[in-house]
Amino acid sequence: MKKLLFGALALAALGVHAELKDKIYKYMPLKTDLSVYSANGAASMEAVFKRNSTAMTPDFKEVGVNVPRFLNTGLLMEHGGKDRERGAVNILPADGKIFSPAGKKTAGIYKDGFEFSGSWELNPVKLVPMLSGKHTFSFYAKGKGTLTVTGILKIKATGKDKVMKDESFALTNDWKRYYFQFDGGIAKKPADFAETFRAKFKGDNVVISAPMIEGPGVYPNPQAATTYVAPGAYRDGDRFFLPGLKPEMGVAGAVAFSYTPAVKCGWNELFSTDGGWRPEIEFSYRFYHKHAYRYQVAFRGKNLWTKNAVFEPGKTYQLVVNWDKDKFAVWVDGKKLGEVVAPGKPFTKKQLYIGSRSIQTFANGTFKNFTLFDKTLTDAEIQEFTKDPDLSKKLPKKEVSCITPFVSTPSTRG
């Protein structure tokens, strides 16, 4: 089998096959804390999570600043951004009456909930026209039986209602988020352009809480089903980075990790060596429309390589970016998607950002088993990682248990 990169070819010529563990520089399980294992097995607290968002945790207890969010044994990174066109704003009014009087006020998953049998309504909400007409309407509910929700748009040009198809949801005794998308039209087509949205609910012994309308957006970007943003508020970006990278890692090395996307997000920036707009190296997955999906590697602002491929929400992928002084190559689930000739210059940045671009977070999903290698990986080593990405057992056992609990540090906005 042809070796992938220069370093691997040199080793093969000498008849030496280094073990995967000998190439580990830093390893982050990202399961229960932010500890980092170095290649010799010693644990440290180098990884830094700077939390700007005041969104809710999955169990919807309001979090303090700088508390990392873990979901399904991975670090959950969520789409962020202050701008309405990013689809990260709850356009329900922060002030004013949202709920019809038919609901009986009770405890909700976030502040108030409304309990009813029969019918209940969300009052008309003014839509915010941007570049796209797609919105996401979501709410939390619990109860028994089936809940039916009917969305109603008021067309601006005619003043008439446009009744949407019924959406049916099977309820449980536990809080669960339900959502669907609707198209409010665009201003350039006034016959379909909606001025307001309201919703009718029908069910028995139902409790509703935390409704949210997001969008429209530049990207078709429904949000992950783990987050609620208060009315009128936006989700700001979180930052997660690892300082202290070796400058020579730009000559030869690899980054490998498991990633589970939460939704089809417009821009999943998986990692970069700088949190700015033009990072030295950036690996991303982009989704523009239903026929345009692609992985992309950029080096110092120049797109080196792209490959059409599809991410499926909820599926876990094993990703590897492998390089030497001449080439970058991308592997997904043990298959090499391609490689490209790259400038033979080392990285000069000293920090690696995960799921981050500037102060905004774009990788909507969970990361796990994030690993830095200070040497190029062979084909066989990439297959080994893909088969078993949990590398903790490959490190010296005497040090693995030395994990320091995560301690919050003051937040700074980038």
pLDDT score recorded for residue 406: 40
Segment 232-244, tens digit of pLDDT: 887 777 788 888 7
DSSP string, 105-173: EEE-SSSEEEEEEEEEEEEEEE----S--EEEEEEEEE-SSEEEEEEEEEETTT--EEEEEEEEEE--S
Flag whether pLDDT at 373 surpasses 80: yes
Residues 138 and 204 in one domain: yes
| 221-225, 326-330, 376-380: segment of lowest average pLDDT | 221-225
CA–CA distances in Å: residue 384 to residues 111, 301, 317: 48, 32, 14
3-state secondary structure of 402: coil
Q: Residue 225 domain-assigned?
A: no
pLDDT score recorded for residue 42: 84
CB neighbour class for 87 (10 Å; exposed up to 12, middle 13-18, buried from 19): buried
Domain finish residue from 161, 182, 214: 214
Token digits of residue 43? 């644990």
Give the pLDDT band (50/70/90) at residue 4. very low
Residues 379 and 359 in one domain: yes
pLDDT score recorded for residue 143: 94
Give the pLDDT band (50/70/90) at residue 153. very high
Segment (H or E) for 13 = helix 6-13
Give the pLDDT band (50/70/90) at residue 358. low
Q: Residue 305 domain-assigned?
A: yes
pLDDT score recorded for residue 1: 37
For 362-397, give one letter per residue: b (16+ CB within 10 A) or e. Answer: bbbbbbbbbbbbbbbbbbebbebbbeebebeebbee
Asked whether 74 and 260 are in contact (CB, 8 A), the reply is: yes
Rounded Cα–Cα distance for residues 176 and 60 (Å):
11
DSSP 290: T
Cβ within 8 Å of residue 21, ≥6 positions away: 39, 391, 394, 395
Segment 105-138, tens digit of pLDDT: 898 888 888 899 999 899 999 887 655 567 889 8
CA–CA distances in Å: residue 31 to residues 63, 100, 195, 403: 18, 43, 45, 12
Of all residues in the chain, the percent with pLDDT exceeding 90 is 26
Q: What is the CATH number of the domain that holds 331?
A: 2.60.120.200
Question: When comparing pLDDT for 345 and 284, which is higher?
Answer: 284
| 4-18, 125-139, 181-195, 324-338: segment of lowest average pLDDT | 4-18
Strand 281-289 and strand 267-272: the pairing is antiparallel
Structural domain span for residue 334? 6-81+237-400
CB neighbour class for 118 (10 Å; exposed up to 12, middle 13-18, buried from 19): exposed
Give the pLDDT band (50/70/90) at residue 9. very low
Q: How many domains in the chain?
A: 2
Question: When comparing pLDDT for 91 and 320, which is higher?
Answer: 320
Residues 61 and 119 in one domain: no
pLDDT score recorded for residue 404: 38
Residues 249 and 324 in one domain: yes
Q: Residue 49 domain-assigned?
A: yes
| 4-8, 30-34, 64-68: segment of lowest average pLDDT | 4-8
Kindly report whether the peptide bond that precedes residue 216 is cis, defined as omega within 30 degrees of 0: yes
pLDDT score recorded for residue 18: 56
pLDDT score recorded for residue 14: 33
Q: Residue 410 domain-assigned?
A: no
Cβ within 8 Å of residue 374, ≥6 positions away: 23, 25, 39, 246, 248, 249, 252, 253
Asked whether 36 and 46 are in contact (CB, 8 A), the reply is: yes
Rounded Cα–Cα distance for residues 223 and 230 (Å):
14
Residues 339 and 199 in one domain: no
Domain finish residue from 183, 214, 245: 214
Torsion on CA atoms 238, 243, 247, 250, rounded to nearest 10: -40
Largest CA distance in the chain: 79
Domain finish residue from 148, 183, 214: 214
Instruction: Name the percent of the chain in helix, strand, coil, to the closest 5.
Output: 10, 45, 50
Residues 52 and 122 in one domain: no
**What mean pLDDT is reported for the chain?**
79
pLDDT score recorded for residue 380: 94
DSSP 301: T
Residues 75 and 95 in one domain: no
Cβ within 8 Å of residue 101, ≥6 positions away: none
Rounded Cα–Cα distance for residues 248 and 250 (Å):
5
Segment 60-98, tens digit of pLDDT: 666 666 678 887 778 988 776 666 655 567 888 887 778
Place of tokens 């080392």: 346
pLDDT score recorded for residue 13: 32
Residues 72 and 139 in one domain: no
| Identity at 20, one-letter amino acid code | L
Give the pLDDT band (50/70/90) at residue 397. low
Token digits of residue 302? 């120049």
Residues 203 and 318 in one domain: no
What are residue 223's DSSP bridge partners? none
Asked whether 249 and 376 are in contact (CB, 8 A), the reply is: no
Q: Residue 227 domain-assigned?
A: no
Residues 256 and 379 in one domain: yes
**Over residues 225-237, mean pLDDT:** 75
pLDDT score recorded for residue 3: 38
Rounded Cα–Cα distance for residues 357 and 361 (Å):
6
Flag whether pLDDT at 178 surpasses 70: yes
